[in-house]
Amino acid sequence: MRSWRTFFTRHKTRIFWICLTGLTLAAVAAGLFFGSVPVSPGQVLLALTGGGGSSVPAKIVLYTRLPRVLGAILAGAALAVSGVVIQQCLHNPLASPGILGVNAGAGLAVAVVCAIFPLAQGLTPLVAFLGALGAVSLILFLSRATGSSRMTVVLAGVAVSNIFSAGIDAVVTLVPDALNAVSDFRIGGFSGVTLVKIAPGGWLIVLALAGVFSLAGSMDILALGDETAHSLGLRVSRTRFLLLTLAAALAGAAVSFAGLLGFVGLIVPHAMRRFVGEQSLPLLLASALGGGFFLTACDLLARTLFAPYVLPVGIVLSFTGGPFFLWLLYRQRGGRR
């Protein structure tokens, strides 16, 4: 027993990365294999290699399950990394794209553009990014202007999120066709997602992730505090704005094809910190993998718990993330800064 404990202590970091990568790959495989219609591993491999032809299993894998799994991996990684960046830049562990209204800002921008320019849906990722950036800028302004406690910033974010959500409701009420399948968009999910729909937002996510990873060293310096970071030669305001812009790009791109998913950017970073600590690069990498695994697993549960009925994955996230957020609020009670 002691030898196993010693081995685990010495190699716990390596074991963690192996387990996290294995869980992510297992979630991807399960997402392709399982659903309301059983598909064998052999049929999945045939479909992915182009040997399935026009068979029913091949169509299920290529046109239903593969887009859902790919969308969940990309959106989960994007929202989790966005949560890490926002928490680091605002020095607030309660911050996340969903709670501070970043997702809702992206959703409102998409709703307005789809209502005014119905044929401009190809610009959805760019529009969602601009809406998310506007929400981030507003929260950053409120944070600086008030110098408030963490709890006050979170409450301001909740208020902003509700205002943006009301704006979405108003647009949909006035222009009912502005958002097709509006309930799925509001709750968040991957019903009807296709590879073509994912592609623009997916490429934006890949580019934004590369940008965030390249700035991991600057995030570590920024975490030391503004005065210390400035004394070390870091352009604090410029770096913070650049990181928050990348966080907005990640959240906006995820919203463009997955809808208003919540809690991923809150749960995953906190869970990963317990294993890798506060250093930015390992935390970002772990959050990207953990976010992909978490959202893929939740989507699998949404598809299989009540099969043949399929729940929007946002419902599963709410049941999971709501209690977690309440627990964080309890830990931050008293308005500690």
Q: How far apart are the C-alpha atoms of 175 and 317, rounded to whole Å?
A: 28
Domain 9-331 has what CATH class?
mainly alpha
More confident: 1 or 23: 23
- Using CA atoms of 9, 10, 15, 17 in order, give the dihedral in degrees to the nearest 10: 110
Percent share of the chain, pLDDT over 70: 89
- Rounded to an integer, the average pLDDT of 232-249 is 88
User: pLDDT category, 125, cuts 50, 70, 90?
Assistant: confident
The residue type found at 8 is F
Q: How far apart are CA 104 and CA 126, in angstroms?
A: 15
Residue 149 has pLDDT above 80, yes or no: no
Is pLDDT above 80 for 154? Answer: no
What pLDDT score was predicted for residue 37? 78
Q: Is the pLDDT of residue 119 over 80?
A: no
53-107: pLDDT as tens digits: 778 888 888 888 999 999 999 999 999 999 999 988 888 777 888 888 888 888 8
On the question of pLDDT at 2 being above 70, the answer is no
pTM of the model: 0.88
Confidence tier at 233 by pLDDT (50, 70, 90): confident
For residue 336, what pLDDT is reported?
A: 46
Q: What is the pLDDT of residues 255-312, one digit of tens each?
A: 988 888 888 988 899 889 988 988 999 999 999 999 999 999 999 988 888 777 778 8
What average pLDDT does the structure give for the chain?
84
User: What pLDDT is recorded for position 10?
Assistant: 61
209 against 58, higher pLDDT: 209
Confidence of residue 24 (pLDDT cuts 50, 70, 90): very high
DSSP string, 224-262: T-HHHHHHTT--HHHHHHHHHHHHHHHHHHHHHHH-S--
- What confidence score (pLDDT) does residue 311 get? 81
Residue 197 has pLDDT above 50, yes or no: yes
Q: Where are the domains of the chain?
A: 9-331
Average pLDDT of 321-327? 77
Whether the CB-CB separation of 281 and 213 falls below 8 Å is answered with: yes
pLDDT of amino acid 14: 84
Give the contacts of 199 (CB within 8 A, at least 6 positions apart).
none
- The stretch 240-267 carries a mean pLDDT of 89
Q: What integer is the mean pLDDT of 12-37?
A: 89
Where does the pLDDT of residue 182 fall: very low under 50, low under 70, confident under 90, or very high at 90 and above? low
pLDDT tens string 4-18? 555 555 667 888 899
d(CA 182, CA 259): 9
> Residue 254's CB: how many other CB atoms inside 10 A?
36
